[in-house]
Structure 1
């Protein structure tokens, strides 16, 4: 019986759908409760961060923790707890990762709830906003321009209702929907109004199935994550032979007892693992999410922070981005012509048009605020909703006539005095609409027919106070801004020009743009301001710019921006924008401030630049660790084959632990969170390798040479062994500190302080008797220590020379000290 219940409910729902009273009132409270009890709810996973349980599991059970855990058990089996200090890395890595990701999760979840699309659902005879998860089977959901469908259903009301299903099918043509036709979740309303009954909810809905299959929804590509994964794969390939060699040397060739052999093996293997690289990357992204969250910026896909930092072109819509959403009716100016009438009659018609629009846009809202009185014309006999494609709307009122409201340059001949007057007003930055009569009903297939102008409706748009400063920021950062608007080109140009945008006074009417992508790309690259751009043209312009190698961000808030937002490398939507725009964007500015974008760009640059620095440190350590393991391991093979004296590994696990403290661990953590205003560039992996490989080779070779020079042979005493290991460690630390000094450039006061503090940390470790004994350090042999300092100094010089030479070879600008621009970003 339980299996038959859903069928019965569906049949009941179909029966209810044909009941006009049900369509009018929607489900009752009791009917909703019945469906909830049956599990017929829209229970789909929220688009938010992973659960706390998954966060803990993901940070504890990692490949790196597993490797370190096994090595820790080996060291503890030898009875040396001190040498197991590196095991604290497991606790530190997991704890820091969990704390930061949970903080980011809380921020994301709070912002996601604020940004969540809330459909208007009819219940008990009234419409009200509900969370998508609260929708149940057979709910009547109202629709208006920009609304996105949250479940599948059947249309029950339609007034010029047209849906854009491009997010599901790829087809950009809007589809007219009459009552009785099926609609799918994921599509959105491009024009008109209506309502539909939910027939499939939860995981049965089309968009939910697509999301699970990941066939249409793709994440932003992250060069950073891809690069780090590539590096980790390479490291794995290197670690296998190096690890096998060092294991053979320590266990079978060195001739040492089992305990010291195991300690040396672990000491060689531990620094090969870039244990902090993935952690620091996660922390940098998580902290970025929290910082942007404080500015009411919802990052729906983490790599979007990185992506926006790489953007070199920002395509911005005018309305809602450069100007405020709200408008004010400034004037109704009568025009001479066949549609001539009194000013009072024109204002009456405008009041009727505004009062009978169920989903008014910003322009109509301005009219309804200025003309609130009901003219008493009753319900319109025909309605033509506004759409971005046709640029006009209309209502017919029988004996009161057929009225149009729309773009002057669409409804008028450009050579008429009225059109020229509209352009004059538009050149002042005003928005101008035409009120006109038509000779046929507005829903006629040949509408608008013959247009008889009545009046120019002049609306004031308020330019955002922070728009000019934002455009200046992008100009300073060599990021081009393109204003792409559906409004009149002259009006768009006036706004762009007032903000100081280059070529803003030479706007291009998109109706003259070619269809050829190459020609379109030429014009899009050369110009900055475009008006009368259709939604499909916005999408085409984004694609044309991308075809020229540009990384394009698109900002917008309306349904006409959805296609371009989806195709852009990074889509940025305003929080007050349409649900469809917010759903396809990777970043949502909940405070609706275009001025927040520079902070997002800055955060992306901080993440990318700092992770690159940190990667240099960790990979340098991996390179010199692998190289040392190869050298020591090969000595064991040569000892077996040719009878040479084998070399035991020079360090204890505690030595490699303290070597990483001040050359990598603490500095890397601080550098990963520091301000960084350098523009993101492609080529993350090659650039990191250019520094890490030469530096790692220099550290490894210099350390090995120093060890060879101070090694007293297989008959060395325990004191000589400690002194030799200490000398090699001094050489390693000196050069590693210089690598840190190079990576930290260009210098600011706090970076210099960081390097000095790191050096002083080692001075303390080598100077305090208790610490020397605890960490098995003995620099008392002045001859050995002199050799160590000499090898270290030579290595430091080689690292410095390598840095300058690679910069010259690859055309990279090298700076030792920060410029004023860098200092502006200092903490």
Structure 2
């Protein structure tokens, strides 16, 4: 049986301790037995292994083969360029991954603090890592709990546990017996490591230290959580494998077809064999999208910069794209969907109801309805919190509930400078707090607390500034109003007063009214959630708070679907949880850290790409397990270190911005792949058709390598900074099983490559490419060579139009296109032409090329118009 369920005497016996604590010798023995009160970390990271891991990708393997091929045919510049691209890409990935292994170190830092402990009955301050089970520690308001503790005795103890349980207000704790098994958040006789005392003080017995604490269990979950491969990494890897097999097959076919043709016509020749080997290798080099790793890295890096401008810090480059692919966001409630600031919504008196606008602790807001000055005065004076404006933000000291009462009084313009004469502090038995203010001649007591406790101490009621008898009818109306507020998951406090002299009294009070408050949704959450729905993304709320509170917030912000508690979730196996998720359960309350991880795993098993947002220690395992973890700015360091994306403030809007950015980056990467593959496909088809039909080679090995160098890199890189299409947040998320290019884009790629290769072959035949005359063949090859360069320049703009990007929106695309044309002209009309075995072209030739280019552009645009007319199946809204 867990220690929270055992009587205190049995806990002392089980831990072989006493109220005076352990002696020094016993503490030292137990330290040797249990080890330090700190969290374990993984074995040290090997930087060399991280660097080597950057090359473990199929697309990288075929590029390394391309380097070898380039060296074989003497193209040293090409091989050096590819190697530089690969090394830069690996260096960026190495830096990102090395900085991502810090979650457990952050957890470890939480445990390194000082603690006041009783050793042989004497107070002693020790390093918290020296605490052992059986130690007795003393804690006061503001102290951080150093281990898991069983409370021995306490005074007005309230503990902030939101980092561990997600509960939005401090929890009352006391030395009590609990017989039944209850969730972590309801164990009122226990204190847990990494939580903080808000009010009161206590003496407590150390029940667990180090990795055995609840925090340690979370650390173990973080340590063992497998890191998911991002959709981009998975798709690029699959794409690389398929591409490499296709390239190998095509190159072998080309080699075989030309070899047998040459063998039957001329017999075996060593020079001819070498030429065939070179053309096959050149074709392989041309077919490999050399610039792809650089394009992906630069596109992601540009996205990182854009996100930083939008208050989101990316810790892992590939995480940017993952957010754009996610179809489920699992979000914490407190601090993420809500402001994590208690706010009074309603004030009720016998005269009527006052509605307060505004959120948080800023005293800005409007009041409508009946005035409730005396009610707000009660909340102002019966209060130990304080509000300060620092650097343009309101900060609180003390209990958040009391701070909310100060804010409501400020909104109502109520102030009172009377001196406090006495106080009856809040206690768990009375559930009341009373203060006496004024002077000896004329004083007034003000009380606040739970309605059930306060109402039975009242015999009068304040009505129209006049004190009248509190009748049974009034009692029923007050209790009904309290029930109405409670049904909306509002936290309700009752208030009373009594003019008196002498000591503060809590009998014969005058009932004043009720104040109902809640941790409200952030102002921008409604619009942000609407955008996620338009983008086809499901939002699931996962919180440690109570079910009614979670459902009330869900109703207010538009999270629809069923609700489930942590206790109900525990009773389900993996298939039962999947069934619940499939049936539309979107709100989970009173959850433990392992519950969050189970939910994420179940969604991933359903084929979902999951983003998990959170701010607390309890969110860390799920943040790491999710496809992408998103920590909010005010959250714990643990959550930030376990996440992939950190919002620099807590606005949910920045998650939507990140999703949009991720989708845009993915579009730009797709565009680059489309450009690289369309051009390469055209080149491969030209050579393959020549081999298949037994005609002369339209392009030589050196011409293929030049085309690859001039037309691939710069335009594809320019796509990295392309603006995004206007419909980007009106599409469904990318299906998990979809390849790097969807079917519609593959079809477009095939059309572009086929049309381009047909036009090239037409020019080849038209200008004497199949003639036995060597000069005619060089002339025809020159025409094809120039057309392929023009075709790939036109491709740059045709592909952008398929993503609905404005024609003149990116000056870098235009610069890249002009650079390709300029380099081609430099080659054609300088002595370099003889090196490449081509001839300068005249105006009529250039006109013929322009007509062929215009025909290609027209065919491509007509095809896109037809496809657009048929409709986009991925679009949710038109």
Question: Normalising by the residue count of structure 1, what TM-score does the alignment of the two structures yield?
Answer: 0.63
Give the CA deviation at 1:743. Answer: 1.0
Post-superposition CA distance 1:395-437 (Å, at most 9, x none)? 999xxxx9975999xx9x999423554588899x996423599
Summarize the alignment of residues 663-812 of structure 1 with structure 2, pairs less than 5 Å apart.
663-677=711-725, 678-679=728-729, 680-681=731-732, 682=734, 683=738, 684-710=741-767, 716-717=773-774, 719-745=775-801, 746-751=805-810, 754-755=813-814, 757-759=816-818, 761-767=820-826, 768-773=829-834, 775-780=836-841, 791-809=852-870, 811=872
| 2:478 matched residue in structure 1 | 418
* Greater Rg over alpha carbons, structure: 2
Does the CA contact (< 8 Å) of 1:156 and 1:197 recur in 2? Answer: no
| 2:371 matched residue in structure 1 | none
Q: Distance in 2 between matches of 1:143 and 1:703?
A: 82
Does the CA contact (< 8 Å) of 2:148 and 2:190 recur in 1? Answer: yes
Summarize the alignment of residues 125-274 of structure 1 with structure 2, pairs less than 5 Å apart.
125=116, 138=132, 173-174=183-184, 196-198=207-209, 200=211, 214=225, 217=226, 219=228, 222-248=230-256, 254=262, 256-257=271-272, 260-274=275-289
SS of 1:324's partner is coil
SS of 2:41's partner is coil
Does the CA contact (< 8 Å) of 2:164 and 2:617 recur in 1? Answer: no
From the superposition, tell whether residues 665 and 172 of structure 1 become closer, same or farther in structure 2 (CA, over 3 Å).
farther
SS of 1:724's partner is helix
| 1:389 matched residue in structure 2 | none
2:400 to 354, 362, 378: 362
Aligned length: 711
Summarize the alignment of residues 238-637 of structure 1 with structure 2, pairs less than 5 Å apart.
238-248=246-256, 254=262, 256-257=271-272, 260-293=275-308, 297-299=312-314, 305-310=320-325, 320-321=335-336, 324-327=339-342, 362-363=400-401, 416-419=476-479, 421-422=481-482, 432-434=491-493, 456-458=514-516, 470=528, 534-535=589-590, 557=615, 572-577=630-635, 587-634=645-692
CA RMSD of aligned residues (A): 6.9
| 1:650 matched residue in structure 2 | 699
From the superposition, tell whether residues 688 and 417 of structure 1 become closer, same or farther in structure 2 (CA, over 3 Å).
same
SS of 2:696's partner is coil
Q: Distance in 2 between matches of 1:197 and 1:808?
A: 66
Q: Distance in 2 between matches of 1:564 and 1:763?
A: 53
SS of 2:806's partner is coil
Give the CA deviation at 1:87. Answer: 1.5
Does the CA contact (< 8 Å) of 2:31 and 2:132 recur in 1? Answer: no
From the superposition, tell whether residues 618 and 186 of structure 1 become closer, same or farther in structure 2 (CA, over 3 Å).
farther
| 1:94 matched residue in structure 2 | 86
SS of 2:677's partner is helix
With 270-279 and 548-557 compared, the bigger mean Cα shift is at 548-557
Give the CA deviation at 1:268. Answer: 1.0
From the superposition, tell whether residues 552 and 84 of structure 1 become closer, same or farther in structure 2 (CA, over 3 Å).
closer
Q: Distance in 2 between matches of 1:277 and 1:769?
A: 31
| 2:169 matched residue in structure 1 | none
Post-superposition CA distance 1:679-712 (Å, at most 9, x none)? 3543543233122222222233333443345455
Give the CA deviation at 1:741. Answer: 1.3
| 2:52 matched residue in structure 1 | 57
SS of 1:736's partner is helix
Q: Distance in 2 between matches of 1:760 and 1:121?
A: 59
Does the CA contact (< 8 Å) of 2:338 and 2:520 recur in 1? Answer: yes
Does the CA contact (< 8 Å) of 1:329 and 1:366 recur in 2? Answer: yes
Does the CA contact (< 8 Å) of 2:41 and 2:223 recur in 1? Answer: no
From the superposition, tell whether residues 432 and 209 of structure 1 become closer, same or farther in structure 2 (CA, over 3 Å).
closer
Does the CA contact (< 8 Å) of 2:314 and 2:646 recur in 1? Answer: yes
SS of 2:209's partner is strand
Q: Distance in 1 between matches of 2:332 and 2:20?
A: 42
Q: Distance in 2 between matches of 1:331 and 1:121?
A: 43
Does the CA contact (< 8 Å) of 2:722 and 2:809 recur in 1? Answer: no
Segments of structure 2 that go 5 or more residues without pairing to the other structure are: 1-12, 119-127, 167-180, 263-268, 352-373, 387-396, 410-415, 435-446, 457-472, 497-509, 570-575
Does the CA contact (< 8 Å) of 1:623 and 1:696 recur in 2? Answer: yes
Q: Distance in 2 between matches of 1:27 and 1:321?
A: 45
Post-superposition CA distance 1:494-520 (Å, at most 9, x none)? 9998xxx7x89xx999799x9999999
Give the CA deviation at 1:737. Answer: 2.3
Question: Normalising by the residue count of structure 2, what TM-score does the alignment of the two structures yield?
Answer: 0.60
Post-superposition CA distance 1:182-209 (Å, at most 9, x none)? x9x99999xx99755435489x976666
Segments of structure 1 that go 5 or more residues without pairing to the other structure are: 1-13, 128-133, 337-341, 384-393, 438-451, 636-644, 815-820, 822-827
| 1:123 matched residue in structure 2 | 114
Give the CA deviation at 1:786. Answer: 6.7
Does the CA contact (< 8 Å) of 1:25 and 1:124 recur in 2? Answer: no
With 791-800 and 606-615 compared, the bigger mean Cα shift is at 791-800
Give the CA deviation at 1:59. Answer: 4.6
Q: Distance in 1 between matches of 2:764 and 2:29?
A: 82
Does the CA contact (< 8 Å) of 1:332 and 1:347 recur in 2? Answer: no
Q: Distance in 2 between matches of 1:34 and 1:314?
A: 45
Q: Distance in 1 between matches of 2:723 and 2:708?
A: 23
Q: Distance in 1 between matches of 2:300 and 2:520?
A: 36
Does the CA contact (< 8 Å) of 1:108 and 1:293 recur in 2? Answer: no
2:77 to 82, 85, 93: 85
